Structure formats: C-alpha cells, structure tokens
Amino acid sequence: MKDPGAGDSRIVRCPTCGSESAYAASNPYRPFCSARCKNNDFGAWATEAYRVAPRQPEGNEPPDD
C-alpha cells in the first residue's frame, strides 16, 4: 500500500481550463490548476450556471414544481 504522503501525484485535467493539474496534497487548488480556475468554477456554481434541466412531463402528467 502506498504512503499518502509519499509525494506521488496523479496528473488530471483541470475541470475549468483543461490544462494539466497535479492531483496531490501539494496542490492546494486540486483538482483545479490554479486559484483563478477554482474561483471561476465557484462563481459558476454561485450564479447557478450549472443546473439540471427540469424533467418535461409526459402526456397528462402534472408538471413538477
């Protein structure tokens, strides 16, 4: 079993910009590559840019509120 503090890191894609980012304890913004990308993602959540589309009722089903 690997020691979690051994310095091993996994390279992942930043969810915001797509650049490479180290997914390790040494990266305080993980999985993001920088504070800017982390804040951009948080801003999108705060302004509700990420949302699930409501389900459309079928036939004579009443709409969900």
Residue 65 pLDDT exceeds 70 = no
Q: What is the pTM of this model?
A: 0.62
Domains within the chain, CATH numbers bracketed: 10-46 (3.30.50.10)
For 20-64, give the DSSP string: EEEESTT-TTTTSSSHHHHHHHHHHHHTT-S-PPPPPPPTTPPPP
Q: For residue 12, list its beta bridge partners.
A: 21
**Tens of pLDDT along 1-52?**
344 554 578 999 999 999 999 999 999 999 999 999 999 999 999 998 888 8
